[in-house]
Amino acid sequence: MPTQHNSPIYKNDQPELDGASITMLRAAGALILGKTRTTEFAATVSGPATTNPHDSSRTPGGSSSGSGAAVADFQAPIALGTQTGGSTVRPGSFNGVYAMKPTWASISREGQKIYSLILDTLGLYARSVDDLKLLLEVFGLKDDQSPQVPRDGVRGMKFAVLRTMVWNKAGQGTRNAMGKGAELLKSHGAEVEEIEFPAEFARLPDWHTCILKSDGRTAFRPEYMVAKDKLDRSLVEHVEEAHGYSRKDYLEAFDGVGALRPKWDAIAREYDAVIVPSVPDEAPDGIESTGSAAFNSMWTALHVPVINVPGFQGEHGMPIGLSLVAPRFHDQALLEVAKVVGEIWEKEGGWSSKLG
């Protein structure tokens, strides 16, 4: 199918081979309905023409803008996206659907444009956890141990609430959702406690930004050399190193995040899941920008599985989700938890889709 990266450089481009993820879906019998819109190279925050199906004056998020909107609007039951910062989880929250960023490198990204080898992750959208399970089966994701299927909902489960080091960016909608989400789980018999990142995690968001922009100078140099005038200004700045990150900064960020990954795994293994914000608030007004990835980038850098679970709403009645996070390669276990949590939050969280 046409694969133009929403870039004039690739106008009318139509590869002869499918990407690996599409090859696997076709082999499993999936019907490919079409392609969805992204921001330029799935790498900018400038919104494409896609709008939010719950309010056309608002953004659906991005960079996987069309995928989140199409699933929410019942145009497709499932869709794919990618996440290098917050490009899957953010549209999931803004559009009120389930969105999963699995463990990094658990699904092949062969055949797709590279932004950052160490961050790029294939993302998944669906209106139910069961549909996410179907996708993970096709892509061969397994935990080392078979996950326990909850027999009594969330009763007896243990959750942590982590507001993260960027909590000051949370609007009232997300603040309300975090409080209500925790209270609902408690009312159904779960144990919920608040935790904080250890001090050594403080630079994690900055390290993600450094890695992202440093990898961008490599990823977009071919397009820069061929057609700089047709490349988004933010990507030109990556190549020209306007971000100011040195190679020394890059190595520090690269090694620093690598050292934090097993430490996060050890923290998360103490809980069935850790509850974190998905977005600062409901989808902002206007489609010029796809919104902030402030609450997503740290999890992309840590390589952990994350699932946005819908169920809450902001002051304008737009959906707001919360994310569940687990250790690396605990994707199947996290799906089981998301299923029982979602049953509560969708029913009692205060938001339900009026579409479909």
Per-residue pLDDT, averaged over 193-222, amounts to 97
Domain 8-348 CATH (choose: 3.90.1300.10, 3.40.50.2300, 1.10.3730.10, 3.40.1190.20): 3.90.1300.10
Per-residue pLDDT, averaged over 234-253, amounts to 96
Per-residue pLDDT, averaged over 333-354, amounts to 97
Per-residue pLDDT, averaged over 83-105, amounts to 98
Q: What percent of the chain has pLDDT over 70?
A: 100
Write the CB contacts of 196 (distance below 8 Å, at least 6 apart in sequence): 162, 163
Rounded Cα–Cα distance for residues 282 and 292 (Å): 11
In three-state secondary structure terms, 333 is helix
Specify the pLDDT at position 356: 76
Per-residue pLDDT, averaged over 208-228, amounts to 97
* 140 backbone φψ class: left, alpha, beta (φ>0; ψ -120 to 50): left
Query: Residues 322-337: pLDDT tens digits?
Result: 999 999 999 999 999 9
pLDDT of residue 98 exceeding 80? yes
DSSP for 279-322, written as a single string? SSSSPPBBSSB----TTTHHHHHHT--EEEEEEEE-TTS-EEEE
- Closest C-alpha to 86, from 63, 116, 115: 63
| Beta strand segments in 183-245, E | 191-195
Per-residue pLDDT, averaged over 127-133, amounts to 98
Query: Residues 262-282: pLDDT tens digits?
Result: 999 999 999 999 999 999 999
pLDDT of residue 2 exceeding 80? yes
Instruction: Calculate the average pLDDT of the chain.
Output: 97
Per-residue pLDDT, averaged over 110-118, amounts to 95
**Dihedral of alpha carbons 195, 196, 201, 205, sign:** positive
Query: Residues 174-192: pLDDT tens digits?
Result: 999 999 999 999 999 999 9
The neighbour count for residue 28, using CB atoms within 10 Å, is: 12
Per-residue pLDDT, averaged over 212-223, amounts to 97
Q: What percent of the chain has pLDDT over 90?
A: 98
